[in-house]
Structure 1
Amino acid sequence: MKTVYGEMCISDCAVRKWVRIFKGEDPRETILRDRKRSGRPLSASVTAHRKKVDCMIRANRRVKQKEIANAVGISKERVHHIVTTVLGYRKVSARWVPRQLTVEMKAQRKDICTQLLELSTVFILA
């Protein structure tokens, strides 16, 4: 606008200040937080959906996010959020694997390692 009207043009800052005054707001107050807006609340991450997703993954570790989304009736993005952030799974070799080892998993790993150690000592002695 300055190229058309030159230095007589009103600044963008002044226009914004006038708009705030006409809306009934104090221009000296700076709002740092978002105001409440009408909109759809996040309902896809409710506990019922989390349980359904967890049951589907435990039943079939190779299930796809798209299949879960279609079965539960939520978006793929929400499924991804629930699976990775809330439930703590990750994809390893096309399977969903929990990020944290359970007590049973730790015991199973210990048993397997001790069996492998016993086998290696048998082969070394032979």
Structure 2
Amino acid sequence: MASLHRVSHNTQDPARTDLQRVTGDIARGLPFQITVERWAARFRSGNADVTDLPLSGRSVSATTSENIALIESMVMKDKCITVNQLEQSMEISSGAIHTILTTEPGYRSICGKWVPHKLSQNQRLARLNIAKKLLETYENCDSRRLTEIITGDEMWVYYSTPYSKYKKRSWVRGDEQPAKVPRPDFSKVKIMYTIFFSSHGIVLQLPCESGKAVTATFFTSKCFKFDKNLENYRPKTGTRGMKILIYNASSLQPSLPKISWI
């Protein structure tokens, strides 16, 4: 049954307010007044077409099976490829590319992992064989003897990193490991550190003076001062029975007998 409603003619009340009073909650889903006025002007001009015109720019249906397969193949060829590089190769937005990578194949962008050096396959196999040989050698060995060995080496510490590992981000899935980034070994400002350690951890770490190399005098006067450090985990025996293993310091061998407890 039709019913009559009073429509306000107050100029301060817009037409949408009267429409909401008539239809109640139904008016909440109606278009805005400016949209209705634009449609009315179009109809008065003789254009009665109510279909939407094609939008300019990229297609909204970017997550197609073809795009997903193409992006995944490009990522498999280069795990460090960026979203910007993919955007330049394909005519879809960066947001759509990121959605495809993280939703469909389930990729994650992870920073590269620092490694001391970039090893070849032969070098990796050599390290693996040496590690297996060491495990076989010391499998039945008295582990107490290993705790009596102190060894060490020198390393350069650089004040600045030429490039960041964040620039070597890679796309990984599941338990895949990120790309390995060799740690750079060149810088204008650097300092040499001498680090000695045992099975208990670091025993002594000492920076060398700027512009000077590690010599026998440096070792005997500063490096071989383990007495106080050894007291932390050998309070009763101290340096008794300890052995220093120096592999690549042939120039230091004549100075070693000067140390009484070696």
Q: TM-score, normalised by structure 2?
A: 0.28
Answer yes or no: is 1:46 the counterpart of 2:46. Answer: no
Structure 1 pair 86/28, CA: closer, same or farther in 2 (3 Å)? same
Correspondence 1:93-104 to 2 at 5 A: 93=111, 94-98=169-173, 100-101=174-175
After superposition, where does 1:13-52 map in structure 2 within 5 Å?
15-18=15-18, 27-30=23-26, 38=52, 40=55, 42-52=60-70
1:45-69, Cα deviation, whole Å (9 max, x unpaired): 1110000000011110000101111
Partners of 1:51 and 1:65 lie apart in 2 by: 15
Q: Which residue of 1 aligns with 2:85?
A: 67
Give the SS at the match of 2:88. helix
AA of the residue aligned to 1:18: D
- What letter is aligned with 2:65? T
Relative to structure 1, the CA distance from residue 34 to residue 20 in structure 2 (aligned partners, 3 Å threshold; closer, same or farther) is closer
Q: 1:16 to 1:78 in 2, by over 3 A?
A: same
Q: Taking structure 1 as reference, are residues 29 and 46 closer, same or farther at Cα in structure 2, changes over 3 Å only?
A: same
Contact kept, 8 Å, 2:75 with 2:171, in 1: the verdict is yes
CA shift, 1:30, in A, is 2.1
Residues 90-110 of structure 1 deviation map (CA, whole Å, 9 limit, x = unaligned):
111101011x34xxx6xxxxx
Tell me, yes or no, if the aligned pair for 2:83 and 2:98 is still in contact at 8 Å.
Answer: yes
CA separation of 1:17 and 1:44: change in aligned 2, threshold 3 A? same
In the aligned structure 2, how far is the partner of 1:34 from the partner of 1:89? 41
More helix by share: 1
The letter of the residue matching 1:16 is R
Contact 2:19 2:27 in 1 (8 A): no
Q: Which whole-Å CA distance do the structure 2 matches of 1:31 and 1:51 have between them? A: 45
- Is the 1:17–1:27 Cα contact (8 Å) retained in structure 2? no
Q: Return the alpha-carbon distance in structure 1 between the equivalents of residues 30 and 13 of structure 2.
A: 25
Of 71, 89, 107 in structure 2, the residue corresponding to residue 89 of structure 1 is: 107
Larger Rg over CA atoms: 2
- 1:53 to 1:32, Cα distance in 2 relative to 1, 3 A: farther
Q: TM-score, normalised by structure 1?
A: 0.53
Structure number having the greater strand percentage = 2
Identity %, equivalent residues:
17
| 3-state SS in 2 of match to 1:50 | helix
Cα RMSD of the aligned pairs, angstroms, is: 3.4
Out of 59, 73, 85, the residue aligned to residue 55 of structure 1 is 73
Change in Cα spacing, 1:34 to 1:78, as seen in structure 2 (3 Å) is farther
Over 3 Å counting, the alpha-carbon distance change for 1:34 and 1:9 in structure 2 is: closer
Rounded to whole Å, the distance in 1 between the matches of 2:27 and 2:77 is 49
Alpha-carbon distance in structure 2 between the residues aligned to 1:34 and 1:47 = 36
Q: How many pairs does the alignment contain? A: 88
CA spacing shift, 1:32–1:10, aligned 2, 3 Å:
closer
- 1:82 and 1:18, CA in 2 relative to 1: closer, same or farther beyond 3 A? same
Distance 1:17 1:80 in 2: 43
Query: 1:57/1:32 Cα in 2 relative to 1: closer, same or farther (>3 Å)?
Result: farther
